[in-house]
């Protein structure tokens, strides 16, 4: 590297930055340095890089680089009260520590940090890595100085700017759910979604639901039932939707939906249900989205970007989906407690 | 902070179990004559049991820091194709793009990326294993294996593996691909914005199966967002279809559904439309959702970013190599790279 520096007449740290395409170095200089490096056959040493990666991961150092986990939850209490956010954050934090980073949470939005203020904080504290953690529909954009940041979004497809996204594979979850119910001979399967989630996830659950039905008999296609707040209990159209479409099975992608069937006067085991779950828990069979693992994967990818100095908005967006698993609810050795009619599900198997 | 210490067994773990000093372990594993043969065997057995092995990356580093005079070999990745020759490989524009992207990213990170041919008549599984072992290659990209060419039976457990395309072919691995769902959605959205109101997707059944129905997922989720009277079912071409029968099917479909714009994954869509007796764009607008740069003159559609896919594959592989992950992951994640829209004379704005 010093040879390259001497040849071009710059400091060796400039060479290092230029070869990692750092935006702080003028493009012309970057190109000049890259040419010189190619001419004398210098290239970065992955052995050294891997060693650093390994060293950092085994010996957390005092000046460990910081990663910011951003959330637009209205308060710390709201954040901790949400299993999704808690699991995302917990996974991200553990993996960050493992890889030699320190993860710190920042709440942004009305009543919290403004984007401008956050930008100052990130610069002042020399934070170069940010993770947008499952933003709500309240936030449409986050205007930060992205050119100096390595950044990724968890879910949050709807938030501008466009960044690479890491998410649980909702599409696959919906497909698996439909396959399970069809294996039981069910043909009038209804999809219940949380309106906010589907928007944040670009309708991925619905896309999976539709493609597994593989029908273009539009007249008979059952529209999804979108709910805004499942915990508030069934809304007026609920029982009507069930009967109008002669629903004989349900895929429920909305959290907090418990009790809706009973309140619509449906006796168990009338309608088998496959639900999406945030994590595997005993007595809660369903498709487990593993948000903790989403957090882990997001930090891995972000660390990779930081090490290869990929800052700024990506030229090409890529989206990474972590796997979804079926759980029969027998975690921790407890006996399976299947929901109404889902006993056969456990044996039906995934794809 | 203990979470970070759980992963790779180190020479010190071996030493503790063998109740010798760690320098003895190091010497024993390098077969130093000063260590009694029985001790060497015992230490080697313990190392094997707990899965300790010397990391070639670190060895390379140590060799260089020690001022070794012989050049340190560049760590390698291999890009394996199941086509048989360079000519056959280069004939696939997408394959060339995948490989170029992977190679450039690998080199930027300091790895080399060899192209290996494992198609019929080329390298057998044994030859491939031998080559990888001989060259010290620990990371492989399985580069868009084509199902009709058959696969190779390899023991992948010794390697870090990332797969491009061919999601349903063994082995299961971290998977990178073009985002076929997104390109289908984007084409629907752009044609709609250009003023088309009866948009149809024509897709080859073979490609649909290879992608696990992602084109259809994208098509269906966009079509259900249109008014009922403006939805068009996709056309699925059969296997080994000849141009004349494809043209006949295509014509019937377009006329039956009064289609004003077609999106197709074939780059020969204009030939197909002409063979079916349509003037483009006078009778029918056409776009291709599988364009590659340089885009053919006048053809609108979505450009797929094969290089970016290769780049992401190399990155994912480097991540596995760095974190020491080997073998087939039980639960791989998927990464999809988005395409981008290109206007063209074949799909002008409706006036």
Q: Which domains does chain B have, with CATH numbers?
A: 2-54 (1.10.260.40), 76-177+308-337 (3.40.50.2300), 180-304 (3.40.50.2300)
pLDDT in the model for residue B3: 39
Ranges assigned E (strand) in chain A: 66-71, 102-107, 129-133, 150-154, 165-168, 189-194, 225-227, 249-252, 273-277, 286-288, 318-322, 325-327
Residue B334 has φ and ψ, to the nearest 5°, of -115, 140
Domain shared by A105 and A83, yes or no: yes
pLDDT digits (tens, 9 = 90+) for B50-83: 877 666 556 555 555 544 445 556 789 999 998 9
Measure Cα distances from A206 to A155, A210, A212, B276 in Å: 15, 6, 10, 34
Residue A113, chain B, CB below 8 Å: the answer is: no
Range from B11-15, B245-249, B283-287 carrying the lowest mean pLDDT: B11-15
Residue A97, chain B, CB below 8 Å: the answer is: yes
- Mean pLDDT of chain B, nearest integer: 87
Domain shared by A233 and A344, yes or no: yes
> How many other C-beta atoms can be found within 10 angstroms of the C-beta atom of residue A2?
10
- Could you tell me if A345 and A274 are in contact, meaning their C-beta atoms sit under 8 angstroms apart? yes
Pairwise CA distance, residues A74 & A62, whole Å? 32
> Closest chain A residue to B111 measured between Cα atoms?
A46
Cross-chain Cβ contact B220/A308 below 8 Å: no
- Could you tell me if B149 and B119 are in contact, meaning their C-beta atoms sit under 8 angstroms apart? yes
Is residue A256 included in any domain, yes or no? yes
pLDDT digits (tens, 9 = 90+) for B26-43: 888 777 777 888 888 898
Domain shared by A239 and A121, yes or no: no
Is residue A70 included in any domain, yes or no? yes
* Confidence label for A338 from pLDDT (cuts 50, 70 and 90): very low
Q: Where is pLDDT greater, at A107 or A26?
A: A107
**What are the chain A neighbours of B213 within 8 Å (beta carbons)?**
211-212, 214
Domain shared by A244 and A305, yes or no: no
Query: Positive or negative, the Cα torsion across A335, A339, A342, A346?
Result: negative
Q: How many CB pairs under 8 A join A and B?
A: 135
First and final C-alpha spacing in chain A = 51
Q: Which helix (H) or strand (E) holds B264?
A: strand B261-264
pLDDT in the model for residue B81: 93
pLDDT in the model for residue B54: 64
Domain shared by A81 and A181, yes or no: no
Is residue A216 included in any domain, yes or no? yes
Domain shared by A62 and A163, yes or no: yes
Is residue A50 included in any domain, yes or no? no
Nearest CA to CA, how far is B334 from chain A (Å)?
5
Is residue A72 included in any domain, yes or no? yes
Domain shared by A13 and A155, yes or no: no
pLDDT digits (tens, 9 = 90+) for A108-156: 998 899 999 999 999 999 999 999 999 999 999 999 999 999 999 999 9
The interface residues of chain A toward chain B in range 230-289, judged by CB-CB distance below 8 A, are none
- pLDDT above 70: residue A190: yes
Range from A31-40, A53-62, A204-213 carrying the lowest mean pLDDT: A53-62
Pairwise CA distance, residues B29 & B27, whole Å? 5
Chain A interface mutation, best of B317, B333, B338, highest count of A Cβ atoms under 10 Å? B333
Pairwise CA distance, residues B338 & B182, whole Å? 6
Question: CA B327, B330, B333: angle at the middle one, nearest 5?
Answer: 95
pLDDT in the model for residue B4: 39
* Confidence label for B255 from pLDDT (cuts 50, 70 and 90): very high
User: Pick from B8, B350, B54, B75: which is nearest to B194 by CA?
Assistant: B350
- Could you tell me if B253 and B229 are in contact, meaning their C-beta atoms sit under 8 angstroms apart? no
Is residue A101 included in any domain, yes or no? yes
* CATH number for position A27: 1.10.260.40
Pairwise CA distance, residues B63 & B73, whole Å? 10
Nearest CA to CA, how far is B237 from chain A (Å)?
15
> How many other C-beta atoms can be found within 10 angstroms of the C-beta atom of residue A311?
20
Nearest CA to CA, how far is B6 from chain A (Å)?
9
Tokens found for residue A175: 């497909």
Range from A223-227, B169-173, B187-191 carrying the lowest mean pLDDT: B169-173
Pairwise CA distance, residues B59 & B83, whole Å? 34
Q: Report the residue from A60, A212, A323 with minimal CB separation from B331.
A: A323
Residue A106 has φ and ψ, to the nearest 5°, of -130, 135
Pairwise CA distance, residues B140 & B302, whole Å? 29
User: Pick from A211, A31, A84, A328: which is nearest to B215 by CA?
Assistant: A211
Domain shared by A211 and A333, yes or no: yes
Cross-chain Cβ contact B216/A211 below 8 Å: yes
The DSSP symbol for A74 reads S
Secondary structure of residue B230 in the 3-state scheme: helix
**What are the chain B neighbours of A94 within 8 Å (beta carbons)?**
3
Range from A191-205, B19-33, B116-130, B273-287 carrying the lowest mean pLDDT: B19-33
- Could you tell me if B303 and B342 are in contact, meaning their C-beta atoms sit under 8 angstroms apart? yes
Helices then strands, each counted (H, E), chain B: 13, 12
Pairwise CA distance, residues B309 & B323, whole Å? 21
Cross-chain Cβ contact B3/A317 below 8 Å: no
* Confidence label for B1 from pLDDT (cuts 50, 70 and 90): very low
Pairwise CA distance, residues A15 & A47, whole Å? 19
pLDDT digits (tens, 9 = 90+) for A208-263: 999 888 766 777 788 999 988 877 878 888 989 998 999 999 999 988 888 888 87
Residue A280 sits in which domain range?
170-290+326-348
Q: What is the distance, to the nearest Å, from the Cα of residue B50 to the centroid of all Cα atoms in its chain?
A: 33
* Confidence label for A345 from pLDDT (cuts 50, 70 and 90): very low
Residue B3, chain A, CB below 8 Å: the answer is: yes
> How many other C-beta atoms can be found within 10 angstroms of the C-beta atom of residue B184?
29
Tokens found for residue B20: 């010798």
- Could you tell me if A45 and A30 are in contact, meaning their C-beta atoms sit under 8 angstroms apart? no
Is residue A25 included in any domain, yes or no? yes
- pLDDT above 80: residue A189: yes
- Could you tell me if A165 and A154 are in contact, meaning their C-beta atoms sit under 8 angstroms apart? yes
Domain shared by A272 and A336, yes or no: yes
pLDDT digits (tens, 9 = 90+) for B316-341: 999 888 777 777 777 788 999 999 99
CB contact set of A283 (below 8 Å; sequence gap of 6+) = A329, A334, A337
For strand B334-337 and strand B174-178, is the pairing parallel, antiparallel, or unpaired?
parallel
* Confidence label for A176 from pLDDT (cuts 50, 70 and 90): very high
* CATH number for position A131: 3.40.50.2300
User: Pick from A316, A52, A307, A350: which is nearest to A173 by CA?
Assistant: A350
User: Pick from B203, B272, B266: which is nearest to B233 by CA?
Assistant: B203
- Mean pLDDT of chain A, nearest integer: 84
Cross-chain Cβ contact A44/B109 below 8 Å: yes
Measure Cα distances from A216 to A3, A6, A60, A213 in Å: 65, 67, 55, 9
Range from A16-30, A165-179, B117-131, B229-243 carrying the lowest mean pLDDT: A16-30
Pairwise CA distance, residues B184 & A89, whole Å? 33
Q: Which helix (H) or strand (E) holds A27?
A: helix A27-40
- pLDDT above 60: residue A60: no
Pairwise CA distance, residues B285 & B268, whole Å? 14
Residue A229, chain B, CB below 8 Å: the answer is: no
Tokens found for residue B90: 């280069």
Domain shared by A333 and A226, yes or no: yes
- pLDDT above 50: residue A348: no
The interface residues of chain A toward chain B in range 122-181, judged by CB-CB distance below 8 A, are 169, 171
- Could you tell me if A23 and A147 are in contact, meaning their C-beta atoms sit under 8 angstroms apart? yes
The interface residues of chain A toward chain B in range 207-226, judged by CB-CB distance below 8 A, are 207-208, 210-212, 214, 216, 218-219, 221, 223
Report H helices in A134-263.
170-183, 195-200, 204-213, 237-244, 260-263
pLDDT digits (tens, 9 = 90+) for B74-95: 789 999 998 999 999 999 889 9
Q: How many structural domains is chain A composed of?
A: 3
Domain shared by A75 and A183, yes or no: no
* Confidence label for A56 from pLDDT (cuts 50, 70 and 90): low
* Confidence label for B251 from pLDDT (cuts 50, 70 and 90): very high
Pairwise CA distance, residues B314 & B322, whole Å? 12
User: Pick from A274, A276, A280, A275: which is nearest to A292 by CA?
Assistant: A280
What does the pLDDT average to over A267-272? 74
- Could you tell me if B105 and B311 are in contact, meaning their C-beta atoms sit under 8 angstroms apart? yes
Residue B229, chain A, CB below 8 Å: the answer is: no
Q: Where is pLDDT greater, at B22 or A345?
A: B22
* Confidence label for A293 from pLDDT (cuts 50, 70 and 90): very high
The DSSP annotation for A111-129 comes to TSB-HHHHHHHHHHTT--E
- Could you tell me if A194 and A251 are in contact, meaning their C-beta atoms sit under 8 angstroms apart? no
Pairwise CA distance, residues A282 & A280, whole Å? 7
pLDDT in the model for residue A282: 87
pLDDT in the model for residue B283: 95
- pLDDT above 90: residue A13: no
Is residue A78 included in any domain, yes or no? yes
Domain shared by A237 and A340, yes or no: yes
Q: Where is pLDDT greater, at B267 or B115?
A: B115
Pairwise CA distance, residues A125 & A252, whole Å? 43
* Confidence label for B185 from pLDDT (cuts 50, 70 and 90): very high
* Confidence label for A339 from pLDDT (cuts 50, 70 and 90): very low
- pLDDT above 80: residue A103: yes
Report H helices in chain B.
11-18, 22-29, 37-50, 56-65, 86-90, 93-108, 125-135, 180-193, 205-210, 214-223, 243-256, 269-275, 306-323
């Amino acid at each position: 590297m010093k040879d390259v520096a001497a040849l071009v007449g710059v400091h060796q740290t400039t060479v290092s930055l230029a070869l990692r395409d750092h935006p702080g170095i003028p493009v012309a200089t970057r190109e000049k340095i890259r040419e010189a490096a190619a001419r004398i056959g210098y290239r970065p040493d992955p052995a050294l890089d891997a060693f650093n990666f390994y060293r950092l991961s085994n010996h957390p150092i005092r000046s460990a680089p910081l990663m910011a986990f951003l959330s637009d939850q209205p308060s710390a209490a709201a954040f901790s009260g949400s299993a999704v956010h808690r699991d995302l954050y917990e996974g991200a934090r553990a993996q960050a520590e493992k890889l030699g980073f320190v993860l710190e949470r920042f709440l942004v939005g009305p009543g919290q940090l403004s984007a401008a203020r956050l930008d100052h904080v990130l610069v002042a504290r020399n934070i170069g890595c940010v993770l947008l953690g499952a933003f709500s529909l309240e936030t449409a954009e986050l205007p930060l100085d992205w050119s100096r940041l390595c950044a990724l979004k968890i879910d949050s497809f709807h938030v501008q700017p466009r960044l690479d996204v890491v998410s649980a594979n909702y599409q696959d979850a919906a497909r698996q759910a439909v396959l399970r119910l069809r294996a039981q001979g069910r043909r009038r399967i209804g999809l219940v979604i949380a309106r906010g989630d589907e928007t944040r996830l670009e309708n991925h659950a619905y896309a999976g639901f539709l493609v597994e039905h593989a029908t273009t008999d539009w007249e008979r296609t059952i529209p999804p039932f979108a709910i805004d707040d499942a915990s508030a209990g069934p809304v007026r159209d609920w029982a009507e939707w069930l009967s109008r479409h002669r629903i004989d099975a349900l895929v429920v992608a909305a959290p907090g939906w418990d009790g809706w069937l009973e309140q619509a006067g449906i006796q168990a085991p009338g309608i088998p249900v496959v639900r999406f779950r945030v994590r595997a828990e005993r007595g809660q069979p369903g498709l487990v989205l593993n948000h903790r693992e989403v957090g882990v994967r997001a930090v891995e990818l972000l660390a990779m970007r930081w090490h290869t100095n990929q800052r700024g908005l990506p030229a090409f967006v890529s989206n990474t989906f972590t796997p979804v698993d079926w759980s029969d609810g027998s975690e921790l050795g407890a006996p399976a407690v299947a929901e109404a009619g889902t006993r056969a599900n456990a044996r039906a198997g995934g794809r | 902070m203990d979470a970070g210490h759980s992963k790779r067994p180190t020479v010190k773990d071996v030493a503790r179990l063998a109740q010798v000093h760690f320098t003895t372990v190091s010497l024993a594993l390098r077969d130093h004559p000063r260590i009694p043969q029985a001790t060497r065997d015992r230490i080697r057995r313990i190392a094997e049991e707990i899965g300790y092995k010397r990391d070639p990356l670190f060895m390379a580093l140590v060799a260089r820091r020690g001022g070794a005079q012989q050049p340190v070999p560049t760590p390698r990745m291999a890009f394996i194709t199941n086509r048989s020759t360079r000519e056959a490989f280069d004939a696939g524009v997408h394959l060339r793009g995948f490989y170029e992207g992977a190679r450039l990213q690998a080199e930027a990170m300091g790895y080399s990326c060899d192209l290996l041919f494992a198609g019929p008549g080329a390298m057998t599984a044994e030859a491939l294993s031998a080559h990888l072992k001989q060259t010290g290659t620990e990371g492989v990209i399985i580069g868009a294996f084509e199902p009709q060419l058959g696969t190779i039976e390899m023991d992948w457990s010794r390697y870090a593996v990332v797969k491009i395309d061919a999601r349903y072919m063994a082995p299961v691995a971290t998977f990178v691909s073009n985002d076929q769902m997104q390109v289908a959605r984007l084409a629907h959205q752009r044609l709609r914005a250009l003023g088309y109101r009866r948009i149809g997707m024509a897709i080859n059944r073979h490609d649909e199966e290879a992608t696990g129905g992602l084109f259809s997922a994208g098509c269906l989720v966009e079509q259900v967002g249109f008014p009922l009277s403006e939805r068009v079912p996709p056309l699925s071409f059969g296997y080994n279809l000849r141009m004349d029968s494809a043209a006949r099917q295509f014509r019937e479909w377009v006329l039956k559904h009064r289609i004003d714009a077609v999106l197709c994954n074939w780059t020969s869509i204009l030939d197909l439309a002409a063979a079916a007796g349509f003037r483009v764009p006078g009778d029918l607008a056409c776009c291709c959702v599988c364009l590659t740069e340089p885009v053919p003159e006048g053809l609108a559609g979505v450009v797929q970013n094969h290089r970016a896919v290769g780049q992401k594959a190399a990155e994912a592989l480097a991540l596995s190599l760095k974190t020491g992950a080997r073998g087939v992951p039980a639960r791989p994640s998927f990464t999809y790279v988005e395409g981008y829209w290109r206007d063209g004379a074949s799909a002008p704005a409706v006036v």
